[in-house]
Structure 1
Amino acid sequence: MKKTWIAAGIFLLSVGGNGFYGCSPKKEEKEKQIVEAVATVEEEIKEEQILYGINIDELDIVEGVVGRNQTLSTLLAPFNVPYQIIDAIAKKSKDIFDVRNIAFDKKYTVLTSKDSSSQAHFFIYEPNPAEFVVFQLDDQVDIYKEAKPVEINKREVAGEINTSLYVNMVEQGISPDLIDQFADLYGWTVDFQRLQRGDKYKVIFNERLVEGQVVGVDDIQMAYFEHRGDPCYAIPFEQNGELSFFDQEGNSLKKAFLRDPLKYSRISSRYSLRRYHPVQKRYKAHLGTDYAAPRGTEIRTVGDGTVIAASYTSGNGNYVKIKHNSTYTTQYLHMSKIGKGIRVGKRVKQGDVIGYVGSTGLATGPHLCFRFWKRGRQEDWLNEDIPPSEPILEENKAAFERVKTEKLAQLASIPYQQPSTDEKLLTQK
């Protein structure tokens, strides 16, 4: 408000009227008043220097990256912070950000006095690109976490597979998280293990950007996939209070189970009644589906259910077994470790992490052996016909047709990205 009144005074000085001109002072005095008023405005409107929400006009900035085995104490050691304050910060911060979680290669900033003491007044740590934690190191110790301003950027991407879905999407700047969402969306419609060159895709989604860097993606808004010339749309529509995706015929793309217990991975061995066992060196039935993946890859339950086993055996290694209902049960073998809190009786939701890929038990390398029971009998998961969710209801068909017309037109307007010259030559070889 003060700046506004000063600016208004300058305006009156420049145009006359009832301001300074109305007092009829001597010319020299009037000019002096104008000069002084302008200087006042310039001083008042001078912007404060703000960093992480802190006025740094009287502070120096020291930036750095956490080194190996560094802790809060070692990071603050050069900045004359009393041990009592560091200890108080460590104790007080546990509910906001435990200082034991300060990690290698993360950015930090120290704000120090400009005098010779160079004592730190603030330590700011960035656990990820979207957030920062402020530690106030004065006598009044304080810790708080803030989020950086987020910009939403809508993206429309279309492409044609000439290498693989994953590679081609990554080349277009699509994050692995969104590729996982895409694979889950079409998991029961498209066999991603048997894609062909020339298959096409389109996807519309929002990216979250912080300081120009992508820090995450929102859920897919709409998608299209064409496999061997057969198109399949993912059209969003709200039914029974839930937003779901439907194909162009109004059939739901959602089913009771996720298609794969690992995010976008490779099937290394299928269900077989006679397979040569690489450890036991003999032919025997392999009543599961093996997914090759790096050690430590998250394993997720394919559906809601209750844990009925979470243990270790010499054959299965670390494993978890889940009963979904009176019909279906699933089992996850050879884990490097079972997920935190996963124990008998635990209720789990579709997509929950229940363990991590390993090679415990009778396994030659890191992978997940996934087993599937239907009415007490092991079946081939990849050939199972899982019932879909409810299709578009009769009373909603007219509304769905209107939404479909709008969404299909929007997808049709997205041009396919043309491959580069090098990609064309690769495709022709």
Structure 2
Amino acid sequence: MTTADRPATTRPTPPWTVVAALVLVAANLRTLMASLPPLAESIRADLGLSSAAMGVLTTLPVLCMGLLAPVANLVARRLGPGVAVGHGVGLVLVGLVVRGVAGDQVWSLYAGTFLAGAGIALAGTLLPGIVKSVFPAHRSGLGTGLTMMSMMGFAAIASAVSVPLARVLGGWSGSLLAWAPLAAVAGLVWVPMARRAARRAAVAPAPLGEDVTHALPWRSTTAWVLAAYLTCQSWQFYSSLAWLAPTFESHGWSAGDSGLLMSVFTGAQLVSGLLAPTLLDRVHDPRRLLLLATLLGGVGEAGVWLAPEAGAWGWALLLGAGQGACFALGLGLLVRYAVTPRDSARLTAMAFLVSYSLASAGPATMGAVRDASGGYSLLWALLALVSLPQLAALARLRPTAPRVGEAPERVTA
């Protein structure tokens, strides 16, 4: 994206404003889910929900992120990525309001979660492609890291303050509603970016001879390997997000202390989510970083399984650092293994469709395991085992693997 490429009638957008807008949008992509677990026991008691039903509240947005990823790609093709992201932020805002305004109504809790999840799917699927268009290739990891830092930083804040907000605002519904203003601010800041992008797209000529396919890269083995890796990572992450706080509440922790533990979990992701993709810019073979991150997360899960009270804060730190780095590296690879921003959007849509659709079953399935076993030990044992297929997938991500957009879109073993 150079000044020469822009129409003369359109002023160039200062890069820092684009980055600031990206950071604000990213801030809204995890608060929906991170604000819920510290309040889970209160919500379950007030509404009479089972553990599996509570898991569905984490499953819904993840399922949206999977099933609606191709839809996000189609919407971006019709409206442009900037406008599509703006619509996604608007849906997040509407969903947060619906989720929080009806108090003790079960339908609003689930309907609002679904709407906000659809918005997260729309905005989150398109962000890697926008990062690729804004940042030069040798700085794409930094761009990914900044969005991850915002995403996980606000998730950490949401986890830490959910219970105090519930006390101040008269209950858990007020605490859930408190995140709507952040979405409103992000939408307002993004509007000028989207308008400028739409004006540029309207007057920009289509490049002659360019392959403008928007089909998902189903024939790319690299895309399938990334999808498998992200499936394992997402299953572990969203299950941990849903059940870490309830696990320690079952050991006698207060809701407030469990919320602080969640803030350590998400705060560690803030650091590793910024550091890991920045290091990715400096290494040729990403598998070294992927291996270290996966092992960190696996050790954290094993610790919660085998000795939950012996080192709770340490396990949360390892779990968050590992999973934050794993996810951030996955986002960085969605940029690295694509030729153009459009190819990155195609790759992201396919990887998210596969990974989030499968991983969306994680929180509810783990909730059913908890209900069937009567405790959380088996749940964490199974999560630790998911690290094994993740290790198998990352071993296939060679630095020489063909990128999506290269011809043919097929990778040999």
Normalised-by-shorter TM-score class: under 0.3
More strand by share: 1
The normalised TM-score by structure 1 is 0.21
Q: Which has the higher contact order (CA 8 A, sep 6+)?
A: 2
The normalised TM-score by structure 2 is 0.22
More helix by share: 2
